[in-house]
Structure 1
Amino acid sequence: MATYIILSRFSSEAFTDPNEFKQLAATVSEKIKSECPGVTWKDSYATMGRFDVIDIVESDDVKQIEKAAMIIHGYGHSTTETLVATPWKEFLEML
């Protein structure tokens, strides 16, 4: 399975009260689970930098990753950037 990192930044219209975010996150999560069964969620992190959330996911189907990113983008009112991630040891072996 390939590993991907989805970087997300919330728009100012995403929510007005931080408590609303819990429901928004649950909605996005359920939508991805139902529409992107080929995506395995490995971990998520809240960050305090240029991006608000970093999600680490795996899939053999890049189309499923694209769809998950669009669900985050649309339902989560976020901008997203998706990166393919190669484990460091594998990268070094390839050189």
Structure 2
Amino acid sequence: MQTFILLTRLSPEALKSPSSMEDFEKRAVRHIEQECPDVTWLQSYALLGPYDYLDIFTAPDMNAALKVSAIIRTFGRAHSEVWGATDWSGFKAILHSLPSQ
């Protein structure tokens, strides 16, 4: 499984009240569970700054991650970005596999 980072910013029109953020999350999670059964959510964070949420999930491939992003975008009038990620020990293994100069 590959790890992905999902950054989401909801549009002001999507938020009618503070509780609407939780409603958005519940609806989106249900939809993702139905449409993307191979996706596993690892962590979710509320953010200060230009994005409202940061989610970390695993998916079998990029197509599954893109499907998650499309669901989020259509569900809550949101802007989202999906980034591929590797944990630090995995990244160091890649570095060690490179030829020395």
TM interval, short-chain normalised? over 0.9
Bigger helix fraction: 2
Note the residue ranges of structure 2 that are not aligned, 5 or more in a row: 96-101
Give the letter aligned to residue 31 of structure 1.
H
Mind listing any 5+ residue stretches in structure 1 that lack a counterpart?
A: none
Higher-Rg member (1/2): 2
CA distance in 2, matches of 1:67, 1:60: 12
Q: Residue 61 of structure 1: CA displacement?
A: 2.4
Deviating more after overlay: 2-11 vs 18-27: 18-27
- After TM superposition, the score normalised by the length of structure 2 is 0.88
Moved over 3 A (4+): none
The percent of aligned pairs where both chains have the same amino acid is 36
Give the count of matched residue pairs: 95
C-alpha RMSD of the superposition:
1.0
CA contact (8 A) 1:41 1:57 kept: yes
Distance 1:20 1:89 in 2: 38
TM-score normalised to the size of structure 1? 0.94
